[in-house]
Amino acid sequence: MITLTRHRLFWPVVVLVVLLLGNLLEKPDFFAIRIQDGHLYGSVIDILRFGAPLMLVALGMTLVIATGGIDLSVGSVVAIAGAVACLHISKQPDQNAIGGVLIAVVMALGAALLFGAFNGIMVSRIGIQPIIATLILMVAGRGIAQLIMDGQIITINSTPYKWIGAGWLFTLPAAVLIALAMIAVTALIMRRSALGLLLESVGGNAEASRLVGIQSRSLVLLVYAICGLCAGLAGLMISSNVSSADGNNAGLLIELDAILAVVIGGTALTGGRFSIGGTVIGALVIQTLSTTVYTLGVPPETTLIFKAVVVTIVCLLQSPAFRRKVFGRWGPRRTPPASGSAPSEPTNVKVPA
C-alpha cells in the first residue's frame, strides 16, 4: 500500500477514477458501451476519441518539457496542419480520391515538422529562450494559417479524410488507435534507444550534459520537430472531425491543456525526468473533466472555474509537502511529545573523564 501511494502515477490515476465515478452518479449508464454497426459507442469511448488530439499534443509537449523547454506554438501548428491538408484536398477534382488525401496528409505533417524544427533551431542554435522562441510561432502561426486559406474557412467533403478523425477501425475510433500507436512508438523509442536518458540528462543538468559530450543541440532540435509533428497529426484529426479548417479557432488554447496534462502526469516543468504514461493519464483527466462538465450539467459560464479547481486539486495532491500537511497521519509517524521531562544526561554517550 505504501509503495502504491508512492508511485508517481498514483494520484493522477486516483483523480481520473474519481472523476469517472462522479459521472456515474449523474449518469448511471456512464460506463455502458454499445455496439452498433460493428462500432463501439459510449461515454468512455467518447472521452478517448475526443481526447486523442490532446494526447498527441501532450506527448510532444512532454518531450520538449523534459529538455527544460516549452512549446507554446502547438495550437498554431494544429491550425496550420489542418489548413494545409484541407486546402490541398479542396483543390482536388475528386475529394474522395485516396491519393490526393494521402498527399495532403504528408504535406500537412511535413509542414508541421518544419515548423517544429524552426522552433528547435531558434532554441538550440540561436539560443532564444523556449517560451519566447515558440511564442513567435504561436502568434505568427495563426496568421500563416489564415494566409494559406486566404482568410476563409475551408470546408471539404472527403470520406477518406474524414476517417482520420471520425472513422473506425477494429470497432474502435481510428483517432484513438492513431494516437495510441504514436504514443507506443514514441515510448518505445525513448526507452529502447538512449534518447530518453539523454533528454532527461539535458533537462536535468544542461552544463553537466555538455561536459559529458551529449550533443544537446541536435537532441533539442529533434524534440521540437517531434513536438511539431505530433501537433500536426492532432491538427489533422481536429480538422478531419469537422471536415473543415478554421485558422482562428482550431487548436485554440490546446497548448495550455497539453502543458497541464504533462504536469498532472508528473513531469516537472523544470525538465529532467518525464513520464509518457503520466502524460496520457493527464490528458485523459483533462478530457474527462470536459465531459464531466457536460454530464453534471455545470453551467457553461462556470466550466472554466470548475476545471481550474480540479486541476488545482490534482497539483496539490502531487505535492508531498501538501499531503503531509493535510493527511499528516498518512505520512511518516512522528513520536508524540513526551511528558515534559527536563532534559537529562544521555545515557549511552561515552565521555571519557
| Binding positions for another protein, rule: CB under 8 A | 6, 192-195, 197-198, 200-201, 204-205, 207-215, 219, 272-273, 332-335, 337-338, 340, 343, 346, 348-352
SS3 state of residue 136: helix
Instruction: Pick between residue 38 and residue 343 the one whose CB is nearest to another protein.
Output: 343
Instruction: Pick between residue 299 and residue 340 the one whose CB is nearest to another protein.
Output: 340
The CA-atom distances, in angstroms, between 155 and each of 149, 152, 247, 285 are 11, 9, 12, 31
CB 214 → another protein: shortest distance, Å? 4
Instruction: Pick between residue 300 and residue 343 the one whose CB is nearest to another protein.
Output: 343
Do 123 and 107 form a contact (C-beta atoms < 8 A)? no
CB 69 → another protein: shortest distance, Å? 16
Strand ranges (DSSP E) for 174-243? none
Instruction: Pick between residue 36 and residue 339 the one whose CB is nearest to another protein.
Output: 339
Instruction: Pick between residue 31 and residue 330 the one whose CB is nearest to another protein.
Output: 330
Spatial CA neighbour of 48 closest among 151, 153, 150, 171: 171
Interatomic CA distance for residues 245 and 91, integer angstroms: 14
Instruction: Pick between residue 39 and residue 273 the one whose CB is nearest to another protein.
Output: 273
CB 197 → another protein: shortest distance, Å? 6
Interatomic CA distance for residues 310 and 282, integer angstroms: 12
CB 207 → another protein: shortest distance, Å? 5
Instruction: Pick between residue 253 and residue 338 the one whose CB is nearest to another protein.
Output: 338
Interatomic CA distance for residues 256 and 71, integer angstroms: 10
Phi, psi of 253, deg, nearest 5 = 65, 10
Interatomic CA distance for residues 53 and 65, integer angstroms: 18
Cell of 8: 508517481
Instruction: Pick between residue 214 and residue 262 the one whose CB is nearest to another protein.
Output: 214
Do 108 and 84 form a contact (C-beta atoms < 8 A)? yes
Interatomic CA distance for residues 3 and 116, integer angstroms: 39
Do 236 and 246 form a contact (C-beta atoms < 8 A)? no
Phi, psi of 315, deg, nearest 5 = -65, -40
CB 275 → another protein: shortest distance, Å? 12
Cell of 179: 494516437
Instruction: Pick between residue 93 and residue 350 the one whose CB is nearest to another protein.
Output: 350
* DSSP per-residue codes, 80-91: HHHHHHHHHHHT
SS3 state of residue 53: helix
Cell of 25: 452518479
